[in-house]
Amino acid sequence: MMMTALQVALGGAIGAVLRFGVGVAVMRFASPGFPVAIIGVNILGSFLMGLFVIYSIQKGLGHLNPLVMTGLLGGFTTFSAFSLEAFTLYDEGQAAQAALYVVLSVAGSLLALALGVWLARAVFA
């Protein structure tokens, strides 16, 4: 149990640092006000989750799930930040942007996950 917790902690730390780096990089190029970095991270994280879940099953690497899926990708994706951003947009009177943000994040993440699963099944089967 302790080793699993350490794997989650290590993966989470790495994922959080990666998320921070992506956020900093995107904010240098994106206009402020709309959370483009968080949308991108959520979609990319969901895609990678779709790839890894199939890869780990096909290759018998389920023992890496705490490190990669719970830790790394859990630390990288940002649905708690997503919720805060959506609420903030709504709270600031930008209900249409909040709704667009929610729809793009959720639909994009689900589609990316499905694409990751499809691609992993095609490549790793």
**Residue list for the binding site for Na(+):** 74, 77
Cα dihedral sign, 6-110-48-19:
negative
Q: How far apart are the first and last CA of the chain?
A: 31
Is residue 15 a contact partner of residue 78, using CB atoms and an 8 Å limit?
A: no
Q: Note the helical H segments in the chain.
A: 2-29, 36-58, 65, 74-76, 79-91, 95-124
Residue type, 106: V
